[in-house]
Amino acid sequence: MNLRLFAAIAFLSLVCVGCDSNPLAQRLPGGAPATTQSPRRPRILTESYDLQVNASELVMRLTEITLAEDSTIATVSITNGRREVINIDTKKEKIILYDDEGNTYRLAIPPDNPLIQIQPGTTLNGKFVFIGRLSPEAAYIGLKTVSSYIRVRYAHNNTVSYGNITLEMRNVRVPREGQNAPRN
């Protein structure tokens, strides 16, 4: 037998064996091809916004809300126009998402970053992920942050003062199918 012919037959037999072991090409008893269920794709609704609140030289902007099967994601930027470092302690629930049905959603905090610091004159841009699916009955949400700062004055008698600044967006319309032209 010719060596080339033997190599061609060996190759074709490997291809045929590969076809029979392919789970997508298998057949059910009776000759019908096997069908596989594709995993259900979770529905995600996203809405763009251009909302802003200002308080005591801080500016918070909301640019996007994404509703997922098990979380709500808010794309937010916070600009610190103050002279002090702004701290947001995520372990003490200083960032809260709530709805008009009375539900509160906790921030999913990474264990290695419980304290968010925003240096003077800088902007924090981020996606804040809140645990849990937003209530299907909710029509509006609110977003609230409580920031703290420490101010040291050296001019007179080296005084130290502490303060909190609350930024809150209320009555933000929830993206739902058929409303606000949500996109996937």
Higher pLDDT, 85 or 157: 85
Residue 125 has pLDDT above 80, yes or no: yes
DSSP-based three-state secondary structure for 17: helix
Residue 52 has pLDDT above 90, yes or no: yes
Q: Which of the four pLDDT bands, split at 50, 70 and 90, describes residue 184?
A: very low
- Across the range 155-168, mean pLDDT stands at 79
- Across the range 19-32, mean pLDDT stands at 47
Residue 35 has pLDDT above 70, yes or no: no
Q: Is 57 left (phi over 0), alpha (psi -120 to 50) or beta?
A: left
Q: Is 45-173 CATH 3.40.47.10?
A: no
DSSP 8-state secondary structure symbol assigned to residue 27: B
User: Residue 113: beta bridge partners?
Assistant: none
The domain locations on the chain are 1-36, 45-173
Structure tokens at 46: 């996203």
pTM over 0.95: no
State whether the Cα torsion 72-92-162-123 is positive or negative: negative
- Across the range 108-136, mean pLDDT stands at 89
